[in-house]
Chains A and B, each alone.
Chain A
Amino acid sequence: MLETRPTSIARIAVLTLLAAGALSAAAGLAVWRAGWYNIGATTPHLGIVYKVLEQAMRYSVQHHASKVKVPPLGEAEALRGAAVYRDNCAECHGGPGVAPSTPGLAMQPAPGPLVDASMRWQSRELYWITRHGVKMSGMPAWEFHLSEADTWAAVAFIARLPDMSAQEYKRLTALAPKEGKAQ
């Protein structure tokens, strides 16, 4: 008697856990197969889904970019970056006083401005995001489409955006030669 009791309690506990697991798996399968989650881009994610995905991206980028070495980035890189940004980034992200083009406006999640990107991300992280893109977000990988130097130039320019006025943005992107896509 004294020995059988704990075993039966353990068995009940294990069976309960298994049943709960099977039940939630079945519920998840039903939602998945029935197509109840609205994948349309006019419906926002559930708040919790949005937050969880966004935070997962943040952790992933921090983890994967931790070993990236940042080269010295100066005035020349930033100016070169103005052209790279204008020709490759502004279409979806816009710039100070400049709207993204139509696709950039109506994406879900919205690509959003990069005006404050360097306040949210380290330079090595901005480089990593640009080079590798972000799955399921619409952010493409530029590794095979932008040279190493141009990618860093874009990062150097993005780092200047927080205190760049609309006029300054217009001036710098107009100054920059029309060659953005090197390679």
Chain B
Amino acid sequence: MKAPRVFRAASLAAACLAGASLLTACDSGPKPPPGVTGDPALGKLALTQYACQSCHKIPGVIGSDTFVGRPLEGIGKRPFIAGDLLNNQPNLMRWIQDPQSVQPNTAMPDLGVSEKDARNISAYLLTLD
């Protein structure tokens, strides 16, 4: 009698664990560093609507293998962006919204990204490590 009961308890525990890990997997994606505002999930969608992925390889975003712009893997952990601009959310937003104000000669165009979208996009990019 004893062995089956232990067995049943163990399988119940396993099922709970599996359920719990499924739940946490479904519970939104990775979190950006503290102090970063905006919604990373919305940012991931927004960046495809400005065709960021057509020049940059971006983890989690489906597109061609492209190297026109710098691949954005690990951008959340880079100390600098756009050469010598300190990597933080306000600077990243400025770079996304008005790259010419940072580097007048850059080939990255001004894509007319709104403040809200730039915030969400930068929130997503800063989750990438």
Contacts and interface: CB of A to CB of B under 8 A. Distances in A.
Interface of A: 42, 44-47, 50, 54, 94, 96-100, 102, 104-113, 115-116, 165-167
B49 interface: yes
A98 B111 CA distance: 8
B67 interface: yes
B73 to A, nearest CB: 16
Interface of B: 45, 48-51, 53-55, 61-64, 66-68, 100, 105-112
A167 B109 CA distance: 12
Main DSSP-derived SS at the A contact region:
loop
Contacts of B67: 116
A112 B48 contact: no
In the complex, the 6 A-B pairs of residues with the closest C-beta atoms, listed nearest first: A99-B109, A112-B54, A110-B54, A110-B51, A44-B62, A96-B107
Given A97-B108, A116-B68, A50 B63 contact: yes
A54 B64 contact: yes
Contacts of A100: 51
A64 B40 CA distance: 42
Main DSSP-derived SS at the B contact region:
loop
Contacts of A113: 54-55, 66, 68
A166 B66 CA distance: 19
A44 B62 CA distance: 7
Given A44-B63, A115-B68, A116-B66, 19 more contacts: A42-B45, A42-B48, A97-B105, A99-B111, A99-B112, A102-B112, A104-B51, A105-B49, A105-B50, A105-B51, A105-B111, A106-B50, A107-B51, A110-B53, A111-B54, A112-B55, A113-B54, A113-B66, A166-B106
A45 B62 contact: yes
Contact of A97 (B48, B106, B112): B106
A54 B64 CA distance: 8
Contacts of B61: 44
Nearest to A94: B109
Nearest to A100: B51
Given A42-B45, A116-B66, A165 B107 contact: yes
Contacts of B110: 99
29 contacts: A42-B45, A44-B61, A44-B62, A47-B62, A50-B62, A96-B107, A97-B105, A97-B108, A99-B111, A100-B51, A104-B51, A105-B49, A105-B50, A105-B51, A105-B111, A106-B51, A107-B51, A109-B64, A110-B63, A111-B54, A112-B55, A112-B64, A113-B54, A113-B68, A115-B68, A116-B67, A116-B68, A165-B105, A167-B105
